[in-house]
Amino acid sequence: MSDKRVKTASDAALKIAVLDDEEHVRDAIASTLEHLGHEVVLCEDFPTLARALEGRVDVTMLDLRMPRVDGLEVIRRIATLATRPALVLLSGMDERVRRGAQRLAAEHGVVVLGALSKPFRLAALERLLRRVAPTERAPTRAPPPTLQAAALRAAIAGDELRVHYQPQVELATGRVVGLEALARWEHPTIGPISPGVFVPFAEDAGLIEALSDWVFRRAMEDIVWCASRGLALRLSLNCSVHSLKNPAFAARLDALIGETGCAYSQLALEVTETALVGSEPLPLEVLTRLAMRDVTMSIDDFGTGYANLEQLDRMPFGELKIDRRFAARALVDEHTRIIAENSVELAHRLGLHVVVEGVEDARVWAWARRTGSELGQGYFIARPMPRESVPAWVAAWARRVDDELDARAATPETARGPPRAQRPGGDARPGGSPAGRPAPLVNMNFKTCTLLLFATTEPT
């Protein structure tokens, strides 16, 4: 019987570059890959690899520990190339080193199929190569537009800015509880300008407080508009560090509350933890004053900053938001999952509610529910939308929940798997419903229903 591997219709020959400083290792890997039916390019250094990448290369197998240019520098250099092949990392080093290299590549925008220890098993390599997508070409990004302070000032005074809203829902029940306000700028000649561009520009140009006042006013008016239509929702607003360093900020908020009719208790101010690095007393004074007015203070993007525990200790936060990148990694990285879940537990022990951002699919929804986090937001629930779309979306969300409940009810009991474990005394989870009774979804003017399908969705 031939020792040649039989290729199936689903297989496709890949072109794979191997970069390793040891010739015998390169030759051994090449022999293995050729046995699997792939084309191999052997590279002893980065210049050789760079020349190979001028043509088609689907995968680069990269040794991390090399004497002249190590694998980490190679990753950085690959990130600058127009063509970015997927990577398979090779190393006999500690798992933490391999994981760190994978994270570095991801932050450079380079796809990593996985990491293999030396020596590796053929089956492990085959599993990684099955994940290969067509060679990625780095997207051509237009340079950020050149902005003028006068243009932003005119946009604030005129009608170029918009506020869109992303819903936040209770993970345990599916009840819609709030909206996060997100600024948008539609420039008349440049077109849409990202908040990642115009917000930092506003800070540098000294216009951030004027921009914040405009967004806050419009968002408060819109949340009152929603309330007039039977949707009693809270409003989450992103707060600039410049505002927190202005002792008049609380007075400005008082004026907006009086003019719009919004209530303090409807507001949650989101502050990024990186904006609070340092020990200046003024942000603490401003946040405490607002907390005294019954405004919820939320620490945003938790898990991505530098002073997590210190700021949780210093500031009067009532809510913690798990960053979307942190939530996504928790599904694929055991260390990240442990950190994220312990962050949720820490927040709860401190009396804080938890919002999970980046709920992009049912797997993240299920994971967020299992952590006991209170709220979720993300594309799985809804994309940001204008004010006028909110009532129809709330109605559609209730129907979506009903439809999935009906689908579950039609599924034979034996196909559903065992029921969720419940505590003695009846509660399936803290704040849950008694045993045998589903937790209700009371969505404003809509009928009571439950979110059983989501409740039992598990990651695959």
Choosing from 112, 137, 162, the residue where a domain stops is: 137
Question: What span, in angstroms and rounded, lies between the C-alpha atoms of 360 and 422?
Answer: 28
- Mean pLDDT across 67-71: 76
In a domain, 422, yes or no: no
In a domain, 218, yes or no: yes
pLDDT tens by residue, 167-205: 999 998 889 999 999 999 988 888 888 888 898 889 889
pLDDT tens by residue, 83-127: 778 888 887 777 777 778 888 888 888 888 888 877 788 888 888
Question: What span, in angstroms and rounded, lies between the C-alpha atoms of 138 and 111?
Answer: 11
- List the CATH number of the domain containing 126: 3.40.50.2300
In this structure, the answer to whether residues 133 and 39 fall within a common structural domain is yes
Residues 6+ away with beta carbon under 8 Å from 64: 70, 71, 72, 89, 90, 91, 93, 97, 98, 101
pLDDT at residue number 366: 93
Work out whether strand 15-19 and strand 59-63 pair parallel, antiparallel, or are unpaired. parallel
In a domain, 453, yes or no: no
Q: Could you give the number of structural domains in the chain?
A: 2
Long-range contacts of 347-350 (CB under 8 A, 24+ apart): 347/312, 347/320, 348/372, 350/312
Whether cis (ω within 30° of 0) applies to the bond prior to 119 is: yes
In this structure, the answer to whether residues 118 and 234 fall within a common structural domain is no
In a domain, 434, yes or no: no
Q: Report CA dihedral (59, 61, 62, 63) to the nearest 10 degrees.
A: 180
In this structure, the answer to whether residues 129 and 195 fall within a common structural domain is no
In a domain, 447, yes or no: no
Q: Which residues pair with 449 in a beta bridge?
A: 441
Q: Kindly tell me the sign of the dihedral angle through the C-alpha atoms of 136, 142, 143, 145.
A: negative
Q: Kindly tell me the sign of the dihedral angle through the C-alpha atoms of 37, 43, 49, 54.
A: negative
In this structure, the answer to whether residues 361 and 218 fall within a common structural domain is yes
Residues 6+ away with beta carbon under 8 Å from 349: none
- List the CATH number of the domain containing 390: 3.20.20.450
In this structure, the answer to whether residues 96 and 170 fall within a common structural domain is no
Choosing from 395, 423, 454, the residue where a domain stops is: 395
In this structure, the answer to whether residues 372 and 271 fall within a common structural domain is yes
pLDDT band at 406 (very low <50, low <70, confident <90, very high): low
Dihedral pair phi/psi, residue 206, rounded to 5°? 75, 20
pLDDT at residue number 405: 53
SS3 329: helix
In a domain, 43, yes or no: yes
Please say whether the beta carbons of 300 and 271 come within 8 A: yes
In a domain, 77, yes or no: yes
Choosing from 356, 374, 395, the residue where a domain stops is: 395
C-alpha Rg value of the chain to the nearest Å: 26
pLDDT tens by residue, 310-354: 777 878 899 999 988 888 888 878 888 998 999 999 999 999 999
Residue with tokens 């006991």: 372
**In the predicted structure, residue 140 carries a pLDDT above the cut 60:** no
Domain containing 34 equals: 15-137
Tokens of 365: 């929804």
Among the listed ranges 33-47, 354-368, 416-430, which one has the minimum average pLDDT value? 416-430
**In the predicted structure, residue 403 carries a pLDDT above the cut 80:** no
In a domain, 4, yes or no: no
In this structure, the answer to whether residues 204 and 306 fall within a common structural domain is yes
Task: Decide: pTM greater than 0.75.
Answer: no
Position with higher pLDDT, 186 vs 377: 377
Question: What span, in angstroms and rounded, lies between the C-alpha atoms of 169 and 374?
Answer: 8
In this structure, the answer to whether residues 225 and 165 fall within a common structural domain is yes
In this structure, the answer to whether residues 355 and 228 fall within a common structural domain is yes
Among the listed ranges 58-67, 162-171, 250-259, 352-361, which one has the minimum average pLDDT value? 58-67
